């Protein structure tokens, strides 16, 4: 059950959360709110837009849908690829939790130096062929898209950015999308779309890490820290449910309310960069 809700860093729950997490083994779950300080918008935070991303069935359903996706994503990726890790990413790299589970696809945890990372929803800097399974670097496809659509990025330099490398753009009918260079199949970003499931082996690894926080041979109970996720989708919420069922304390740090608030020992309404930096300092990292 939630003990307190605060809106200021100096609030009692903020301090209590630092105390609770100061010497426990940690598993950390991060969401889009962790990357907003790097200039990447989130889906549900303050000021975010309500439009849902393209679903998997929509993407595979028609060539027009794929054309619309890649036309927007080409612009968005040209911006996201230059995003840098923020203070929260760097603090998590210093904290080096037992496992860092991220719902983000931006690769910024790895860029900051985190090693034990499960990118639950994949990486936007990779592309996969749905026919032959070949994986390509996103930079390679980006160069092909640039060559096939000269002037596209310049013409749409002022469109608004959206989460996960998307942008606000509707006039996409002239955009040219290449096929897989190996078999001619459909290319898709190597990420989990809405309507897809996260890979089973990744989910099992995350469950194992959460369960190990309460293993009888591991000393006192660890904690699950959620940073920057609204937990709106079950993809992340299931780990909070698992930890709570195990009796593992859950601390949620997010600017808004979440679906997991009633399962948390402490819910702190604060920015993740400040909190994680303070936590790393508290733990001498």
Residue 268 above 50 pLDDT? Answer: yes
- Mean pLDDT, rounded, for 237-247: 96
pLDDT, residue 8, reads 43
Task: Supply φ then ψ for residue 127, to 5 degrees.
Answer: -130, 140
Alpha carbons within 13 A on the beta-carbon side of 195? 10
Q: Residue 206, annotated ligand binder?
A: no
Asked, for residue 246, whether it belongs to a domain, the answer is yes
Q: Is position 193 within any domain? A: yes
Over 50: is that where the pLDDT of 7 sits?
A: no
Does residue 47 fall inside a structural domain?
yes
Least confident range from 55-59, 74-78, 127-131: namely 74-78
Q: DSSP assignment of the chain, as one string?
A: ------SSTTSHHHHHHHHHHTTS-EEEEE-GGGTGGGT---SSSTT---PPPPBHHHHHH-HHHHHHHHHHHHHHHHHHTT----HHHHHHHHH--SEEEE---S-HHHHHT--SEEETTEEEEEEEETTT--EEEHHHHHHHHHHHSTTHHHHTTTSPEEGGGEE-----TT------TTT---EEEEE--BTS---HHHHHHHHHHHHHTT-TTS-S--EEEEES----SHHHHHHHHHHHHHT--EEEE-SS--TTGGG-SEEE-S-HHHHHHHHHHHTT-
pLDDT 10s digits, 124-152: 999 999 999 999 999 999 999 999 999 99
Cα–Cα distance between 233 and 259 in angstroms, integer? 9
pLDDT at 74 exceeding the cut of 50: yes
Give the pLDDT score at 116. Answer: 96
Tokens 């819910």, located at residue: 267
Question: Would 5 be classed as within a structural domain?
Answer: no
Residue 213 belongs to what domain range? 12-282
Q: Which tens digit of pLDDT belongs to each residue from 157-200?
A: 888 877 666 777 788 889 999 999 999 999 999 999 988 999 99
The per-residue pLDDT for 79 is 87
Average pLDDT over residues 19-37: 96
Residue 2 located in a structural domain: no
Residue 51 confidence (pLDDT): 57
Task: Look at residue 118 and tell me whether its pLDDT is greater than 90.
Answer: yes
Q: What percent of the chain has pLDDT over 70?
A: 89
**pLDDT recorded at residue 41:** 81
pLDDT in the model for residue 65: 93
**Planar angle of CA 160, 76, 100, nearest 5 degrees:** 110
**Assigned domain for 7 exists:** no
pLDDT at 220: 66
pLDDT classification of 2: cutoffs 50, 70, 90 = very low
In a domain, 1, yes or no: no
Mean pLDDT of 40-44: 70
Six-digit token string for 55: 């679903």
How much is the pLDDT for 43?
61
CATH number of the CATH domain containing 199: 3.40.50.1220
Q: What is the mean pLDDT of residues 48-56?
A: 68
Q: Which of these ranges, 4-18, 68-82, 202-216, has the smallest mean pLDDT?
A: 4-18
Cβ pair 26, 243 in contact under 8 A: no
Torsion angle in degrees (nearest 10) through CA of 215, 17, 276, 271: 130
Query: Looking at the predicted structure, is the pLDDT value of residue 241 above 70?
Result: yes
Please compute the mean of the pLDDT values over residues 235-256 and round it to a whole number: 96
Span 17-40, mean pLDDT? 95
Rg (CA), the chain: 20
pLDDT value of residue 4: 45
Predicted local distance difference test score (pLDDT) of residue 175: 95
Instruction: Say how far apart CA 90 and CA 225 lie, in whole Å.
Output: 16
If one counts the domains in the chain, the total is: 1
CA distance 183 to 266: 51
């Amino acid at each position: 059950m939630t003990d307190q809700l605060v809106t200021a860093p100096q609030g009692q729950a903020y301090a209590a959360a630092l105390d609770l997490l100061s010497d426990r083994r940690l598993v950390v779950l991060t969401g889009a709110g962790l990357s907003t300080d790097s200039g990447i918008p989130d889906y549900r935070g303050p000021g975010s837009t309500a439009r849902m991303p393209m679903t998997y069935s929509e993407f595979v359903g028609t060539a027009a849908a794929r054309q619309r996706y890649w036309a927007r994503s080409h612009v968005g990726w040209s911006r996201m690829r230059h995003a840098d890790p923020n203070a929260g990413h760097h603090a998590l790299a210093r904290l080096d939790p037992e496992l860092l589970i991220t719902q983000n696809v931006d690769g910024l945890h790895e860029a900051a130096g985190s090693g034990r990372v499960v990118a639950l929803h994949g990486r936007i800097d990779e592309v996969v062929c749905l026919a032959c399974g070949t994986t390509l670097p996103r930079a390679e496809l980006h160069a092909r898209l640039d060559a096939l659509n000269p002037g596209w990025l310049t013409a749409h330099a002022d469109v608004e950015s959206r989460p996960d490398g998307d942008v606000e753009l509707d006039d996409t009918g002239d955009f040219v999308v290449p096929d897989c260079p190996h078999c001619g199949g459909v290319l898709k970003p190597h990420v989990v779309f809405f309507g897809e499931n996260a890979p089973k082996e990744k989910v099992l690894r995350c469950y194992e890490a959460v369960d190990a926080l309460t293993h009888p041979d591991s000393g006192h109970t660890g904690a699950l820290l959620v940073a920057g996720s609204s937990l709106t989708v079950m993809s992340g919420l299931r780990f909070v449910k698992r930890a709570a069922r195990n009796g593992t304390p859950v601390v949620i740090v997010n600017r808004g309310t979440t679906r997991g608030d009633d399962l948390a020992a402490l819910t702190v309404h604060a920015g993740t960069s400040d909190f994680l930096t303070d936590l790393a300092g508290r733990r001498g990292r």
